[in-house]
Amino acid sequence: MQLTVKLDEKDRRALVNARLPEQVGFGDLILPIMTITRYRNGEWQTTELRPYEDIKISPSCKGMHYGQTIFEGLKAYSNLHSSSANVFCLRQHWQRLNSSASELGMPTIPEEVFSKAVTALVSRAKNFIPTVLGDALYIRPFMFSSASGLGLANNNEFEFYIIASPSQAYFNEPLKVLIERQRYRAFKGGTGMIKMAGNYGQIFTSMQRAKEKGCGLSLWLDADTGKYVEEFSAMNFFAVRKGVLFTPPLLGTILPGVTRSAVISLAQDLGIECVEEAIAIDELLGEIKSGECEEVFASGTGATITPISEIKDEDGSSYVISKFDVSLKIKEYLQQIHHGLKKSPIEGSCTEVNFIDMENKF
């Protein structure tokens, strides 16, 4: 893959002189560089590394009108054993982005294009990668149809960007969640298993209602029956029941979370049995009340692992959870892997990226 660097001395200084605030938040501070790769005439063109800037698109851009927009979210962590960074599960995120592209009739991206674009950013972002355990450079690849015109045909132009942001975990304390019983985020044969922009639109209304009831997330149920747990808003679901870790199976309506997969692998490495099976919401609530369900937690790239302290229902009932032992044990193990403090049992999970000396070159 060819890379054209379109940075100047001003951009170099912005990278070299950057200093992170004590609290970096999530997604607020943006890395001052980005990559762009265009798809034209049936081929991906040369990737450009350029300053972070506004995107110029046509008002009739098909990605904006018809939903051909997909994205990913991955992280680069400071390796606390060396002056380098660890990109977590780079290949898995590339594979999932291509799964999303295939489902929407978009061109897939060669692995070399994806990985080298990520590396081009991370290798120049030393001063933007926090060194605090759990914090990271959040990396957001996204692709959309950039062809203009209001017709549905001839979607033959696409643009692939990668931007990044130094970020803390999205949630830093146990959350209260509200069961969503009015809406459904996915159905069989739909697009619930891919990371397309349109899947997230209805989450905002649901999360607003959750916020009004003192909750930080919604818990979504299956569309067929409304009886089974699927996932949280943008995060996968786990429960610990009588010492066994349970999570709903991937049947085409749940996003196959990269962190979800890591949690299953790490739990097994820790000797925790993990079962993928349907979880009935009423049964789950009864087990929380009786104490048979000891823990519930959410997993995702943004927040990594977030314990759930309370589940609220729309009838006003509430189910309090006070144990977080398993979730925090897995979270600690995962964080140590992220930062190079422990060897990962997941083959190829950490891609080490060495930093470029930006004092002397771009």
115-138 pLDDT, tens digit per residue, is 999 999 999 999 999 999 999 999
90-106 pLDDT, tens digit per residue, is 999 999 999 999 999 99
Residues 197 and 331 in one domain: yes
Please tell me the distance from the alpha carbon of residue 288 to that of residue 282, in angstroms, as a whole number.
10
Q: Is the pLDDT of residue 172 over 90?
A: no
Which residue, of 169, 195, 211, is where some domain finishes? 169
Q: What is the pTM of this model?
A: 0.96
Q: Is the pLDDT of residue 151 over 80?
A: yes
Q: Tell me the pairing of strands 158-167 and 318-320.
A: unpaired
Answer whether residue 360 is part of any domain: no
Answer whether residue 238 is part of any domain: yes
Average confidence (pLDDT) over 194-206: 94
Residues 302 and 219 in one domain: yes
Residues 258 and 301 in one domain: yes
Residues 124 and 210 in one domain: no
Average confidence (pLDDT) over 191-215: 95
DSSP-assigned states of every residue in 34-81? EEEEEEETTEE--EEEEE--PPP--TTBHHHHH--EEE--EEEEEETT
Write the DSSP symbol of residue 32. S
Q: Is 118 within 8 Å of 1 (Cβ atoms)?
A: no
Residues 20 and 129 in one domain: yes
Write the DSSP symbol of residue 243. T
Return the pLDDT at 176. 98
Answer whether residue 306 is part of any domain: yes
Residues 111 and 130 in one domain: yes
Q: Is the pLDDT of residue 333 over 90?
A: yes
* Amino acid at site 225: T
Please tell me the distance from the alpha carbon of residue 89 to that of residue 271, in angstroms, as a whole number.
22
Return the pLDDT at 310. 98
Residues 131 and 267 in one domain: no
Residues 7 and 150 in one domain: yes
Residues 149 and 71 in one domain: yes
Return the pLDDT at 362. 64
Answer whether residue 9 is part of any domain: yes
Return the pLDDT at 52. 98
In whole numbers, what is the pLDDT of the chain averaged over residues?
96
Q: Is the pLDDT of residue 181 over 80?
A: yes
Q: Is 61 within 8 Å of 147 (Cβ atoms)?
A: yes
Which residue, of 119, 143, 169, is where some domain finishes? 169
Answer whether residue 292 is part of any domain: yes
Residues 76 and 210 in one domain: no
Answer whether residue 141 is part of any domain: yes
275-302 pLDDT, tens digit per residue, is 999 999 999 999 999 999 999 999 999 9
Q: What is the CATH number of the domain that holds 149?
A: 3.30.470.10
Return the pLDDT at 169. 81
Number of domains comprising the chain: 2
Q: Is the pLDDT of residue 78 over 80?
A: yes
Average confidence (pLDDT) over 186-201: 95
Answer whether residue 90 is part of any domain: yes
Residues 328 and 195 in one domain: yes
Which residue, of 141, 169, 197, is where some domain finishes? 169
Q: Which residue segment(s) compose the domain that 309 sits in?
A: 175-338
Average confidence (pLDDT) over 3-19: 95
Residues 14 and 110 in one domain: yes
Answer whether residue 348 is part of any domain: no
Q: What is the CATH number of the domain that holds 242?
A: 3.20.10.10
> Percent of the chain, pLDDT > 70?
99
